[in-house]
Amino acid sequence: MSNRINLKSLSRDKIFNFIEARGLPRYRADQLLNWIYERYASSLEEITEFSKDLRTRLGEIAYIGNLAVVDRQRSSDGTEKFLFGLEDGQTIESVLIPDKDRLTLCISSQVGCAMGCSFCLTGKSGLLRNLRAWEILDQVLSVNRLIKPKKITNIVLMGMGEPMANFEEVVDALKRIVLFIGISKRKITLSTAGLAPKIIELPKAAPDINLAISLNATTDAVRDRLMPINRKYPIRILIDALRRYPLKPMRKITIEYVLIAGVNDSVEDARRLVRLLKGIRCKVNLIPLNPHEGSALQRPSDVSVFAFQKVLTDNKMTALIRESKGQDILAACGQLRGSYEGKQ
Ligand code: SAH
Ligand code: SF4
């Protein structure tokens, strides 16, 4: 397949160019887009609207690439985890989280992650490679195909990888998720460890998507230790970038704060957090740490989690405690490593 064009790697314009360059009428491009993005065709052979001749002709120069579904596991709480194989043999994970009338897919943006946050399993193996735009959006197509006639309603970029470190491909994927798969921008959330210049660039490249920041500490000393990226973009710079993020009315920035016993969970931390976030339209998600092997960090007691939350709510902030789902299948926040060994 190496020399042929993967049709899923083409933008809308390029699909039209591709069809026109073959001397075909433009409606063939619309048909192609419809079959790939709405009917989830995984090969040209499935496109029965094309004659056998046309399929063969196109098949000589192009193909429809697909992530391979290597494994699918279901948690007792209804969360499902998908392990996908890429064309070069690497693997990534996506997590499907049903909640009332919502079906949220947590997708990956990289194989591994270079950020090396001390509490996160994905960071342990380092960065293996960036995902291409089509590999990012095909997580959505593949899961939609598997759960037909249901459809994913919300997307969070909170799986493996740091989306801002793979900016171009992520932006390209988001554009096509909105345009072709029809998920609206306000139902898409990008989470970042805090690459400040990219936070400033994002609204120009992909306007109106929701932003989440993994803050996780209130002093540079602690954040430097937990999240090495802080040495490059310290808290002050990060908060400044947040203040500049354009928000539509009623929208808020999500602040993610992983609570780690004895590290960042004190009442003083909570008070500092209130001061840091003053004037920023935001909501805080408190995520008690999901521990994993190979790390001594621990989850705080419920008492300290509630005490932390109370300081925030007493100061009129929105602060929810988020138990991440799918822990029994290693699908929770920070537990993705995209490998079989993960199955214990
Ligand atoms: N790289 C991006 C997106 C992926 S991580 C980012 O860091 O924002 C998604 C979320 O999982 C982040 O908010 C991160 O702080 C959180 N997380 C990582 N490891 C965790 C763990 N062990 N327990 C709970 N949450 C964790
Ligand atoms: Fe990477 Fe996010 Fe994990 Fe940090 S928390 S290592 S940025 S995936």
Q: Which residues have CB under 8 Å from 25's CB, separation 6+?
A: 19
Could you state, in chain order, the average pLDDT of each consecutive group of 10 residues for the chain (344 residues)?
87 96 96 96 97 96 97 93 95 95 97 95 90 98 96 97 98 96 96 98 96 98 98 98 95 98 98 97 96 88 97 98 83 72 38
If one counts every other C-beta atom within 10 angstroms of the C-beta of residue 118, the result is: 15
Tell whether ligand 1 has an atom less than 6 A from the beta carbon of residue 290.
yes
Tell whether ligand 2 has an atom less than 6 A from the beta carbon of residue 120.
yes
At 343 the pLDDT is: 36
Tell whether ligand 2 has an atom less than 6 A from the beta carbon of residue 122.
yes
The residues annotated with a catalytic role in the active site are: 93, 333
In ligand 1, the atom with minimum distance to the C-alpha of 290 is: 23
At 334 the pLDDT is: 73
Mutate to test the pocket of ligand 2, among 92, 95, 118, 122 (most ligand atoms within 8 A of CB): 122
Tell whether ligand 2 has an atom less than 6 A from the beta carbon of residue 113.
yes
At 320 the pLDDT is: 97
If one counts every other C-beta atom within 10 angstroms of the C-beta of residue 107, the result is: 31
Bridge partners, residue 211, by sequence: 190
Measured from the alpha carbon of residue 287, the closest ligand is: 1
Tell whether ligand 1 has an atom less than 6 A from the beta carbon of residue 259.
no
Q: Which residues have CB under 8 Å from 122's CB, separation 6+?
A: 112, 113, 160, 161, 334, 336, 337, 338
Nearest Cα residue to atom 19 of ligand 1: 334
What does DSSP assign to residue 266?
Answer: S
If one counts every other C-beta atom within 10 angstroms of the C-beta of residue 306, the result is: 12
Tell whether ligand 1 has an atom less than 6 A from the beta carbon of residue 269.
no
Mutate to test the pocket of ligand 2, among 107, 113, 336 (most ligand atoms within 8 A of CB): 113
Q: How far is the CA of 125 from the centre of ligand 2 (A)?
A: 11
Distance CA 189, CA 212 (A): 7
Q: How far is the CA of 257 from the centre of ligand 1 (A)?
A: 9
Q: Are 81 and 328 in contact (CB under 8 A)?
A: no
At 344 the pLDDT is: 29
At 47 the pLDDT is: 97
At 292 the pLDDT is: 80
Q: How far is the CA of 234 from the centre of ligand 2 (A)?
A: 16
